[in-house]
Structure 1
Amino acid sequence: MSRMAQTHEHPGEQPAPDPIRLLGIRDTPLSVDEVFAAVGDSAAGGTALFVGTVRDHDGGADVARLGYSSHPTAEAELRRVAEKVAADFPVRALAAVHRVGDLEIGDLAVVVAVSCPHRAEAFAASRRLIDDLKSEVPIWKHQTFHDGTQEWVGA
Structure 2
Amino acid sequence: MIPQVRVQAEDFDLACELEGFGTGANTGATVSFTGRVRDDTGDLQHLEIEHYPAMCEAAIEAIAQEAVTRWALTDCRVIHRFGAIPVGDQIMMVATAARHRKAAFEAAEFLMDYLKSRAPFWKKEVTKSGTSWVEAKDEDEAALRRW
Root-mean-square deviation over aligned CA pairs: 1.7
Structure 1 position 94 matched with structure 2 position 44? no
After superposing on structure 2, the runs of 4+ consecutive aligned residues of structure 1 that deviate more than 4 Å are none
Structure 2, unaligned stretches of length 5 or more? 137-147
Structure showing the higher helix proportion among its residues: 2
Q: Give the number of the structure whose alpha-carbon radius of gyration is greater.
A: 1
Question: Retained in 2: the 8 A contact 1:77–1:136?
Answer: no
Q: 2:36 aligns with which of 38, 44, 53?
A: 53
Tell whether the 8 Å contact from 1:49 to 1:114 is kept in structure 2 after alignment: yes
Counterparts of 2:85 and 2:22, CA distance in 1: 26
CA distance in 2, matches of 1:44, 1:64: 41
Question: What is the identity, as a one-letter code, of the residue corresponding to 2:121?
Answer: I
* Cross-structure match for 1:139: 121
* TM-score (norm. length: structure 1): 0.78
Number of residue equivalences: 134
TM-score (norm 2): 0.82
Q: Given the alignment of the two structures, is residue 128 of structure 1 paired with residue 110 of structure 2, yes or no?
A: yes
Equivalent position SS for 1:28: coil
- SS at 2:92's partner residue? strand
Q: Quote the offset at 1:134 in angstroms.
A: 2.2
CA distance in 1, matches of 2:23, 2:135: 32
Paired residue for 2:59, among 77, 80, 84?
77
Please say if residues 115 and 122 of structure 1, whose CA atoms lie closer than 8 Å, have aligned partners that are also in contact. Answer: yes
Secondary structure, counterpart of 1:25 in structure 2:
strand
CA contact (8 A) 1:30 1:111 kept: no
Deviation, structure 1 residue 154: 5.1
Q: Which structure 1 residue ranges, 5 or more long, are not aligned?
A: 1-17
Q: What residue identity is the alignment partner of 2:133?
A: W
4, 18, 23: which one aligns with 2:5: 23
